[in-house]
């Protein structure tokens, strides 16, 4: 089975992170790929990281979370996420 890493930078996403994880769960159930999702919290000022961890308890895919100490911007957060990938498909 093929494996896929997905990098998702998040910033102040407390309201949208739950629906995002639900959609990834739905897709993972139907997919023939093994998914590993790397969430990079780019120094959010809200409860994004806490809510992310709560929703990931119900995830049916593998994941990693990275919490940056401050906001470095989307490009840097994405690049940091890429450095944590393990699979050929990203």
Average pLDDT over the chain, rounded to whole?
96
* pLDDT over 90, % of the chain: 98
User: What mean pLDDT comes out for the span 71-83?
Assistant: 98
pLDDT at 1: 78
Task: Check whether 77 has a pLDDT greater than 90.
Answer: yes
Task: Check whether 89 has a pLDDT greater than 90.
Answer: yes
Residues 6+ apart with CB under 8 A from 33: 1, 2, 3, 4, 89
């Amino acid at each position: 089975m093929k494996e896929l890493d997905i990098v998702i930078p998040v910033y102040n996403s407390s309201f949208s992170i739950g629906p995002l994880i639900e959609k990834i769960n739905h897709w993972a159930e139907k997919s023939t790929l093994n998914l590993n999702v790397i969430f990079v919290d780019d120094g959010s000022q809200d409860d994004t990281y806490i809510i992310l961890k709560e929703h990931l308890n119900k995830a049916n895919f593998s994941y990693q979370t990275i919490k940056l100490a401050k906001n470095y911007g989307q490009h840097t957060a994405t690049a940091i996420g890429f450095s944590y990938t393990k699979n050929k498909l990203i």
